[in-house]
Chain A
Amino acid sequence: MPIVIEKLTYTYQSGSVNAFTAIMDVSLTIHDGEFVGLIGHTGSGKSTLIQQLNGLMQPTSGKVLVDGFDMSDKKQRAKGRALVGMVFQYPDYQLFDETVYKDISFGPKNMKLAPDEIDRRVREAMRLVGLDFDEFAEKSPFELSGGEKRRTALAGIIAMYPKYLVLDEPMAGLDPAGRRAVLAMIDDFRKQLGCAVVMVSHSMDDIARSADKVIVLRDGAIFASGTPAEIFSRSDELYEMGLEPPFAARMASELKRHGFRLPGGIYTNEALADALAAYKGGDLNV
């Protein structure tokens, strides 16, 4: 069963002079096992939208159904929330326990799992995020580097085996190697756990690589939604919105402007390279 969002509107400080509608009439569906990329300029409402997915905020109007559980209903919300794992942008808001091991087991413990099941899951989560058990299990989460903290925070959610994994800009502030590692990790446990992933990111290059579906938010409303090929073929529009389309998509669009006859739907470096290789032997200056 999917997550269904129907005509969702959310207003901050509703009814006061500072009322601000951050999400306006958004409808979308997230299917089982799907990888959804959510992009939009800063302040477009990405964080607000994904916090509705596990009921941390409730819609001002409209509905959020997680596998049929209505997230506006207090009793159903608890059941729905158990299915959605949420990783926030800053690990500093989450880490609190004495050791990495204890911190990761916080979620599973709240799920009232058996101790040996908790142990198994913590070990597996640490392996999946690439934290060496012997080295990190007994370390304090506060003496870790930024990247290690992020891995620990991620492991804390993965250990809960969510059916839907929601990540708010998981790669912000990481170097290219760190970004690739996190992305590989997400792909990894998507395969292992079979979970759906909703990832918020500024970098479309990251999303282009793995997403099945891309949703573009603009000022709290859905600007475009579709397959990466569909979305990134509109790279000029995205660029004007202040977003950075994938490098390959922009390059392809630029080359076409110069008269290259390239096929549509190029948004990865590989596809661009293939298309250019097809010109080999042919005349490049059409």
Chain B
Amino acid sequence: MFKDITLGQYFPVDSVAHRLDPRTKLVLLILYIVAVFIVKDIWVFGFIIAFMLFMTAMSKVPLNYVLKAIKPMKLLLPLMFLLNLFMIKSGHILFSWKFITVTTGGLRQALFIVLRLIALVTGASLLTLTTTPVSLTEGLERLLSPLKAVKFPVHELAMMMTIALRFIPTLLEEADKIMKAQLARGADLESGNIFKKAKAMIPILIPLFVNSFRRAEELALAMESRCYHGGEGRTRLKVLKFHMRDLWAVLIFAALIAVVVILQNTFPIDRYAADLILGLLGKKQ
């Protein structure tokens, strides 16, 4: 039941992407998101996708693993597509039947939403697939450390994130075990209306919470008994260091943004695409 969730999963192989500094990778993710959002032309999006495939190849993570991240959105994506397709009315009318109208603007927007979501989710999952949770949070802590000046609890936040990421698989596994134990006692989780189903979840949620609280308490004790007292004066076993490859990676991603901007301003093919489609359909503007 919980086996589809790959969020935050790490794929242990050795590649350039794995060896990059986590701080670099976080910055790269931001650059990538910027690129995804400034794209205005559908055809330039093809370029983003090609870049995505290039990054996947560099990371040595199998492509189907990266694409798995889309799986939880298998309902959301078609829904977003259809909503945008039918609700947005701009540009030229492509198709009209009773109260349904599809416009070029709607089609464009619908395609954009779906492509952007896929690009963002796969990009983010590539980050977690190539970065261990520990180094990810360490990178985040170091990136945000300037905020310490304004008393923002950066270390605490990073520690909470580390612990949360660490316990997601444990929690899923435990939910699975509890569910089995209650199913074995004849619990019926599937039939009935939504209220009945919600009520049927009680025998699963209560042990899950009770065990989580107990574990949190034990963890806190274990940390304190090893003299954990927050981030102050704490040093690292492995100090993060930038390498040449980090500089190169940032330059490549900056080039991506530059190329996107130049391409869509020099060859705005998209603007003519509507005319093209209409021409093919044999309709006048």
Contact = CB atoms under 8 A, between A and B. Distances in A.
Contact of B185 (A13, A17, A51, A157): A157
Contacts of B181: 86, 88, 93-94
Interface stretch (B99-107, B119-127, B199-207): B199-207
A94 B182 contact: yes
B183 interface: yes
B207 A56 contact: no
B237 interface: no
B187 A94 contact: no
Given A95-B207, A96-B206, A160 B185 contact: yes
A96 B185 contact: no
Interface stretch (A61-69, A103-111, A200-208, A216-224): A103-111
Contacts of A106: 182, 185, 187, 203
A235 B188 CA distance: 45
Contacts of B65: 17
Interface in A76-131: 81-82, 84-86, 88, 90, 92-97, 106-107, 110-111
Contacts of B183: 56, 81
Contacts of B207: 92-96
Contacts of A82: 186
A96 B202 contact: yes
A160 B183 CA distance: 13
Given A94-B178, A96-B203, A54 B186 contact: no
Contacts of B192: none
Interface in B175-215: 177-178, 180-188, 202-204, 206-207, 210-211
Contacts of A86: 181, 184
Interface in A2-19: 13, 17
B3 A17 contact: no
Contacts of B210: 92, 96, 142
Contacts of B180: 51, 56, 88, 93
A16 B64 CA distance: 10
Interface string B27-66: 0000000000000000000000000000000000010010
Contacts of B202: 96
B24 to A, nearest CB: 27
Contacts of A85: 184
A54 B184 contact: yes
Contacts, number: 63
A90 B203 CA distance: 15
B274 to A, nearest CB: 43
B174 interface: yes
B174 A94 contact: no
> Interface of chain B, helix or strand or loop or mixed?
helix
A13 B3 contact: yes
A95 B210 CA distance: 10
A169 to B, nearest CB: 14
B206 A111 contact: no
A17 B64 CA distance: 11
A46 to B, nearest CB: 15
A110 B199 CA distance: 13
A32 to B, nearest CB: 20
Contacts of B206: 96-97
Nearest to B214: A92
A156 interface: yes
Nearest to A89: B177
A81 B184 contact: yes
B73 to A, nearest CB: 20
A56 B176 CA distance: 10
A81 B185 CA distance: 9
A110 B177 contact: no
A54 B202 CA distance: 22
B156 to A, nearest CB: 29
Given A93-B178, A96-B206, A110 B185 contact: yes
A86 B182 CA distance: 10
Interface in B43-95: 62, 65
A13 B178 CA distance: 19
Nearest to B177: A93
A106 B182 CA distance: 9
Nearest to B202: A96
Contacts of B187: 106, 110
Interface of B: 3, 62, 65, 174, 177-178, 180-188, 202-204, 206-207, 210-211
26 contacts: A17-B62, A51-B180, A81-B183, A84-B184, A86-B184, A88-B181, A92-B207, A92-B210, A92-B211, A93-B174, A93-B178, A93-B211, A94-B178, A94-B185, A95-B207, A96-B210, A97-B206, A106-B182, A106-B187, A106-B203, A110-B187, A110-B188, A156-B185, A157-B184, A157-B185, A160-B185
Query: 4 shortest A-B CB distances, which residue pairs?
Result: A110-B186, A86-B184, A96-B206, A107-B185
